[in-house]
Amino acid sequence: MANADDEFTEEERDHIIEVLRERFHLSPDEAHELIEIAEEELRGSIDLYRFTKTIKQSFSVEDRIRVLEEIWRLVYSDGELSGHEDSLAHKLSFLLGLTHKQLIDAKLKAKSSQ
């Protein structure tokens, strides 16, 4: 998501690191390493389906909604919502098997927490 607008800002990177550290109790080094691994995976990937399929199969609906909320928080972490980011969030929501209402609720919750 951070690359959706072709600009992975420091704000976005910092947000991802903070979420990884808090949610998974990672050290700063572990969080940075995980981002590097994710960037490598992204370079070798042709679509989002394999990533979202794993999440959809492994996570409850509530957890998938929390993932989408974090996606929206990431989108808003740089203070802007680009058309590409909005479109990608909608696509991810669909691939995660969430409803349009769940998408909008997650977006509003994330936006209000900024």
The rounded distance, in Å, linking the Cα atoms of 94 and 49 is 11
- Could you read off the pLDDT of 77-103 as tens digits, one per residue? 878 888 888 999 999 999 999 999 999
- Provide the residue ranges of all domains of the chain, joining segments of one domain with +: 7-46, 47-114
Region of 82 please: left (phi>0), alpha (psi -120 to 50) or beta.
beta
C-alpha dihedral, 27 to 21 to 35 to 90, nearest 10°:
180
- Could you read off the pLDDT of 11-52 as tens digits, one per residue? 888 888 888 898 889 999 999 898 888 888 777 777 788 889
- pTM attached to this predicted model: 0.73
